[in-house]
A and B are shown apart, each in its own frame.
Chain A
């Protein structure tokens, strides 16, 4: 299993060097509403970050700023050495390095699974179709649904769709993966199949930022957990201290709510 999982070009890193994502004093407003306040965050290459916090605390907004689905108004965001500015070339460069998986899968319903996976490689990377199909089948095998390649998204279960969505991002061989609550639209029996794929991806050395409330996943995979509330990073730390010795009152309240339900 282990060897089959390794993405081409993403060898597991034992030692971490280099910074994958750097946010310095980032602020964002929706009109009057101050949604991100003074965010400082540095993510090392190969690091796995889990972001949690109450609804509306700005978790989605934060990770969507990293690939410019949202624009920040103040501060600096640097991804793999490229700063996010309004320069379209920088944005394209960063999007090529950053993959994203959404809560609602967002597969293209008019294309087969295979075409979903081949679309960006052929049009953005100008990859020959045959090579794109080969890559696609490689990643479909990694997420364990190669037999679904010719079906349409509407014919798959939620868990299968989310795994296709992960494979679709991986086809662009990103160096960083963003996950926005990838399992919250899924039935309980499908959550595990998606988490298993994410765990394997983590083991392959991918830099990952996941917004999720799956605390079991956070405990076993995360290097660092970030707790957000009202647009701020309230507390962060490795899973052991985060779960066992939270410093802040707000963190404790949140943890008691989420772990006891």
Chain B
């Protein structure tokens, strides 16, 4: 004790209760407490002020509005919905529309990104150049502008229904969107469905078996054709046996518009194209830098062992590049999901447009509507991150 006292800096406070003020941990705690207090005060001010204003305007609070009749139509609904449905119902319609465009967008952006990223590193001059031009254009033009280009310049300039572009298989493309024939099941269609499921299961089993066989005998098994035969051949065979138990509801021109079939809205197509084209360019850059981040020595070792360039890419380069690629890839998936809210600018009925737009306007309940919307995006983001973190931890290198 005496020793400790002597090592004190002269003039430092002797009061031991105040001692921790002069230590690093003490300072850190004080700093954090201050931040919490300031943030809390700020939030309280904003919220209480808003509540006060809303009360003054006679706007209700709480979620009582959830079951009230919405009274407006939505152009794209994945679940049954009409103007007489509730606000809550409209929320789910919007959420599903957001999920639809995001999930499909993520899948295609990933395919585009990986292909273009690999193409940028191609030895083929033309391929590499084209990929570079695409990346530079798509990354450097604002997404909102790209959406306008796809929507107003491309899709809204398509011919009207009477001069529709006829696509193979009875589909038509016009200014109102893409109309696809819708299959209508007749009696016996259940058998075809069963055959399709059996085919899919058999295909998975075949691939598991082929992987194991290659491990055991070294002989690769051409799996593409048998897989396709199981996946497509089996349902087709079943359909033939049942006498093709489907009729198709073809889009047909009635009056000024096409009726029937499945209609894909131009707003959806434009938003999807924009998100894929834009995000794909960023993913391409991530993939390129990930591949370049794998050391030259790795590629040389693979080549010296006699691996072909395809095998080198698949077995040596991509698995190592993935650990560089995944974290920024995750944030691009999140960006795509959040950017889908820009669809509001071209009237795509996503969550923001339907719920934070129309519902909020009609009810005026900003706090509830915005909080719910934020909570949804937060949940989407956190679950995407959680999944990608799990994926990343599987890719991690084992170090000493």
Contact = CB atoms under 8 A, between A and B. Distances in A.
A152 B397 CA distance: 8
Interface string B297-308: 110111111111
Given A102-B301, A106-B301, A110-B320, A130 B307 contact: no
Residue in B219, B295, B298 with the greatest tally of chain A CB atoms within 10 Å: B298
A155 interface: yes
Contacts of A43: none
Contacts of A128: 215-218
Contacts of B307: 119-120, 123-124
Interface stretch (B12-20, B124-132, B311-319): B311-319
B220 A126 contact: yes
A96 B306 CA distance: 6
A120 B397 contact: no
Contacts of B301: 100, 102, 106-108, 165
Interface string B278-310: 000000000000000001011011111111100
A124 B312 CA distance: 11
Contacts of B25: none
Interface string B231-259: 00000000000000000000000000000
Nearest to A125: B218
Interface in A97-146: 98-100, 102, 104, 106-110, 119-120, 122-132
Nearest to A110: B319
B400 interface: yes
B5 interface: no
B218 A95 contact: no
Interface residues of B, number: 29
B205 to A, nearest CB: 20
B352 to A, nearest CB: 41
Contact of B306 (A109, A120, A155): A120
Contact of B305 (A129, A151, A168): A168
A11 interface: no
Residue in B304, B397, B399 with the greatest tally of chain A CB atoms within 10 Å: B304
A123 B219 contact: no
A75 interface: no
B133 interface: no
Nearest to A67: B304
Contacts of A172: 305-306
Contacts of A152: 397-399
Contacts of A109: 320, 397
Contact of A69 (B214, B220, B300, B400): B300
Contacts of B320: 108-110
A124 to B, nearest CB: 5
Contacts of A125: 218
A253 B399 CA distance: 43
Interface string B162-183: 0000000000000000000000
B315 A129 contact: no
A100 B301 CA distance: 8
Contacts of A106: 295, 297-298, 300-301
Given A95-B303, A109-B320, A155 B398 contact: yes
A109 B321 CA distance: 12
Contacts of A187: none
A243 B398 CA distance: 45
Contacts of A104: 297
Residue in A104, A151, A172 with the greatest tally of chain B CB atoms within 10 Å: A104
Nearest to B316: A108
B298 A108 contact: yes
Contacts of B218: 122, 125-129, 131-132
Contacts of A81: none
A251 interface: no
A92 interface: yes
Contacts of A124: 305-307, 311
A95 B305 CA distance: 7
A110 B397 contact: yes
A110 to B, nearest CB: 5
18 contacts: A69-B304, A95-B303, A96-B306, A98-B304, A110-B319, A120-B306, A123-B307, A123-B315, A124-B306, A124-B307, A129-B215, A129-B218, A130-B216, A152-B397, A152-B399, A155-B400, A169-B305, A172-B306
Interface of A: 67, 69, 92, 95-96, 98-100, 102, 104, 106-110, 119-120, 122-132, 151-152, 154-156, 165, 168-169, 172
Given A109-B320, A124-B307, A132-B218, 7 more contacts: A92-B308, A102-B297, A102-B301, A106-B300, A108-B302, A110-B397, A151-B398
Interface of B: 214-220, 295, 297-298, 300-308, 311, 315-316, 319-320, 395, 397-400
